[in-house]
């Protein structure tokens, strides 16, 4: 049994938490499948992570204690729900949302000072994530600040390992969603024709979705988006501030933005991990695992594996995109990837168009986020925009 196995590493040690990326790089070279009491079996190699992603019969997604649609489901149940949600992120849906998405990106960027300092995570990343997600879901702008407060409390409880607080926060968030459902039902035929209303009308296997299933779907979309989009903005702004040559190139060649964004987020993961559970005994990475063992897939390591990515710390725009696990792979590849890519591209396009310089803030450094978050908890930067100083916000 795994509870008798000696620990190979401690994911909660200060040396790991202070810089997860550097720690994972070191562990990957000496113990590609490592055991810990906290994360159980952690997979560091790209090859092993891909094997898990492509063998959902041996490595089940049903690793959550709570209903998670369709994230913690396996086929055939997963297939029915996946077929239901994919059109919400299809080409037609993205085309419809694009003008509003671009307008929000430009509005957030327009708040930058003409010449001064900005904290990229809170002032740019979090603002954009809140506003864009509420707009996509059809939720009112009055939810921006309550959701911001909820995100901050949730992050604090996660870092503190406060399970009781996390449980209360989960119920609170579900209450926000249920209030939106109640509001639309009260409006009847006058309810807005938005993503939330349309999900409420969906069926699966010939029956209406239960409220629990609707809440789960909307929770997964929203909580995941709020965290990963803001983390991605922080990572991208921090990287470009420290790499002025690439910053200049992307201003001159905006057609490279999409490729550059995926590559920057490959080397500095906004989402650090996902979970699986074994359905039968299996050997992976030279370790023998029994049925029922829990695994942690470390995107922050697999996407930097030297066996797949030459010079993994370098942003190279000629890499094969199929190797990048930013949005996962296999049947559980992120269905919201088209939306996330569009949001990030529009934001970065607006940012690079509006600014003439991004640079590290004087005397202050970016602060790494701690597991389970990826990226940074703070990114202080200096910005210089093309607008007159009299317009500084």
Which tens digit of pLDDT belongs to each residue from 157-166? 988 889 899 9
Give mean pLDDT, residues 275-284. 97
What secondary structure does DSSP assign to 245-271, as a single string? HHHHHHHH-GGGHHHHHHHHHHHS-SB
* pLDDT tens, position by position, 55-105: 999 999 998 888 899 999 999 999 999 999 999 999 999 999 999 999 999
Helix axis angle for 337-354 and 211-241, nearest 10°, is 30
Residue with tokens 């202050």: 364
Q: In terms of DSSP bridges, do strands 287-289 and 282-284 run parallel, antiparallel, or are they unpaired?
A: antiparallel
Residue 393 has pLDDT above 70, yes or no: no
Q: Which domains are delineated in the chain?
A: 2-391 (1.10.630.10)
Residue with tokens 């010079």: 311
Report the C-alpha gap between 231 and 374 in whole angstroms.
Answer: 7
pLDDT recorded at residue 159: 83
Element (H, E) at 37: none
Place 3 in a pLDDT band, splitting at 50, 70 and 90: low
Cβ burial of 57 (10 Å; 0-12, 13-18, 19+) is: exposed
Give mean pLDDT, residues 271-298. 97
Residue 372 is classified by DSSP as T
Place 239 in a pLDDT band, splitting at 50, 70 and 90: very high
For the chain, give percent helix, strand, coil, nearest 5. 55, 15, 30
On whether the pTM is more than 0.75, the answer is yes
Report the C-alpha gap between 12 and 337 in whole angstroms.
Answer: 30
Residue 2 has pLDDT above 60, yes or no: no
Place 389 in a pLDDT band, splitting at 50, 70 and 90: low
In 161-291, where does DSSP find H-type helix? Answer: 163-187, 195-200, 211-241, 244-252, 257-267
Report the C-alpha gap between 118 and 376 in whole angstroms.
Answer: 14
Q: Which two tokens stand for residue 302?
A: 């697999």
pLDDT recorded at residue 161: 83
Nearest to 283 by CA among 293, 275, 274, 273: 293
* pLDDT tens, position by position, 176-213: 999 999 999 999 999 999 999 999 999 999 999 999 99
Question: Do residues 118 and 381 touch, judged by C-beta distance below 8 A?
Answer: yes
Q: Which two tokens stand for residue 9?
A: 């590493």
Q: Which two tokens stand for residue 106?
A: 């430009």
Residue with tokens 């063998």: 55
Question: Do residues 101 and 346 touch, judged by C-beta distance below 8 A?
Answer: yes
* pLDDT tens, position by position, 318-329: 999 999 999 999
Phi-psi region of 363 (alpha: psi -120 to 50; beta: other; left: phi over 0): left
Report the C-alpha gap between 175 and 169 in whole angstroms.
Answer: 10
Residue 117 has pLDDT above 60, yes or no: yes
- Kindly list the strands in the beta sheet with 294-298, ordered across the sheet, starting from the edge strand earlier in the chain: 33-36, 40-43, 294-298, 273-278, 59-60
Name the CA radius of gyration of the chain, rounded. Answer: 21
Residue with tokens 């327009």: 110
Mean residue pLDDT of the chain comes to: 94
């Amino acid at each position: 049994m795994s509870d008798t196995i000696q620990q190979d590493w401690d994911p909660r040690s200060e040396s790991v938490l202070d810089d997860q990326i550097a720690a994972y790089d070191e562990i990957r070279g000496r113990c590609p499948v490592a055991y810990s009491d906290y994360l159980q079996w952690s997979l560091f190699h790209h090859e092993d992570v891909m094997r898990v992603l492509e063998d959902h019969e041996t490595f089940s997604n049903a690793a959550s204690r709570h209903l998670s649609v369709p994230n913690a489901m396996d086929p055939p149940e997963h297939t029915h729900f996946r077929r239901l949600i994919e059109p919400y992120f299809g080409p037609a849906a993205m085309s419809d949302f694009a003008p509003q998405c671009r307008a929000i990106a430009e509005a957030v960027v327009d708040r930058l000072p003409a010449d001064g300092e900005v904290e990229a995570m809170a002032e740019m990343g979090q603002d954009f994530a809140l506003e864009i997600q509420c707009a996509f879901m059809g939720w009112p702008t009055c939810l921006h600040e309550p959701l911001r407060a909820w995100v901050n409390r949730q992050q604090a409880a996660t870092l503190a390992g406060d399970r009781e607080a996390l449980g209360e926060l989960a119920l609170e968030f579900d209450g926000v969603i249920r209030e939106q459902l109640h509001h639309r039902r009260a409006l009847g035929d006058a309810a807005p024709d938005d993503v939330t209303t349309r999900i409420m009308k969906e069926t699966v296997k010939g029956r209406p979705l239960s409220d629990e299933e609707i809440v789960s779907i909307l929770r997964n979309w929203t909580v995941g988006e709020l965290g990963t989009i803001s983390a991605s903005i922080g990572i991208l702004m921090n990287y470009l501030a420290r790499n002025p040559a690439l910053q200049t190139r992307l201003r001159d060649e905006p057609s490279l933005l999409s490729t550059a964004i995926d590559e920057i987020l490959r080397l500095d993961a906004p989402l650090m991990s996902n979970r699986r559970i074994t359905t039968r005994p299996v050997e992976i990475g030279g370790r023998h695992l029994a049925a029922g063992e829990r695994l942690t897939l470390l995107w922050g390591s697999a996407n930097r594996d030297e066996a797949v990515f030459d010079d993994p710390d370098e942003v190279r725009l000629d890499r094969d995109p199929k190797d990048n696990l930013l949005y996962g792979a296999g049947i559980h590849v992120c269905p919201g990837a088209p939306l996330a890519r569009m949001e990030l591209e529009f934001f970065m396009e607006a940012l690079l168009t509006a600014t003439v310089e991004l640079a590290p803030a004087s005397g202050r450094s970016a602060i790494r986020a701690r597991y389970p978050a990826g990226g940074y908890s703070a990114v202080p930067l200096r910005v210089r925009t093309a607008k007159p100083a009299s317009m500084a916000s």
